[in-house]
Amino acid sequence: MKVAVLMGSPNDQSKMAPATATLTEFGVEADERVMSAHRTPAVVAEFAATARENGYAAIICGAGMAAHLAGAVAANTTLPVIGVPLSGGALNGVDALYATVQMPRGIPVATVAIDGAMNAALLVVQMLAITDADLAKQLDERRG
């Protein structure tokens, strides 16, 4: 089981690191990648369109300001997409929150709090635990 952790810029790595760390803690392979909905839209679309056949179970997307990465990914896959709006810029992440959460009908993006990368990973683990008793047990123990 593999989860993509995407970010719009290499500068976002420190804010997205908790997602990778949390997935790893649960034994879920995290594949970190940098790709931009604005600078490399064809790369984003191709990755998302082939993610299921390439073995991904879900995709976590972190981006700031205009934050279109999660929406661009969701438009090209039926896998669960979790958006992490990232702080920064003049509005300190509120613009990213609105950009991530305001998706059109039929293209859902689950959205966590600004800089909520750890919660994005926990949400993915909870989804995977629906059919994985070991992950469910690990979640129970973590909350213990």
The domains of the chain are located at 2-136
CA–CA separation, 24 and 54 (whole Å):
19
Contact 65, 96 (CB under 8 A): yes
- pLDDT recorded at residue 13: 97
Position 1 confidence tier, pLDDT thresholds 50, 70, 90: confident
- Kindly tell me the burial class for residue 31, based on how many C-beta atoms sit within 10 Å of its own C-beta (0-12, 13-18, 19 or more): middle
pLDDT of residue 39 exceeding 90: yes
- Fold of the CATH domain 2-136: Rossmann fold (3.40.50)
Mean per-residue pLDDT for 45-59? 98
Instruction: Return the SS3 of 90.
Output: coil
Handedness of CA 143, 15, 96, 83 (dihedral sign): negative
Strand partners, 32: 5
Give the pLDDT score at 102.
94
Q: Which residues pair with 6 in a beta bridge?
A: 33, 61
Is pLDDT of 89 > 90?
no
Residues 102-123 have a mean pLDDT of: 97
| Residue 133 predicted with pLDDT over 90 | yes
Asked if residue 33 lies in contact with residue 5, where contact means CB atoms within 8 angstroms, the answer is yes
Q: Return mean pLDDT, the chain.
A: 97
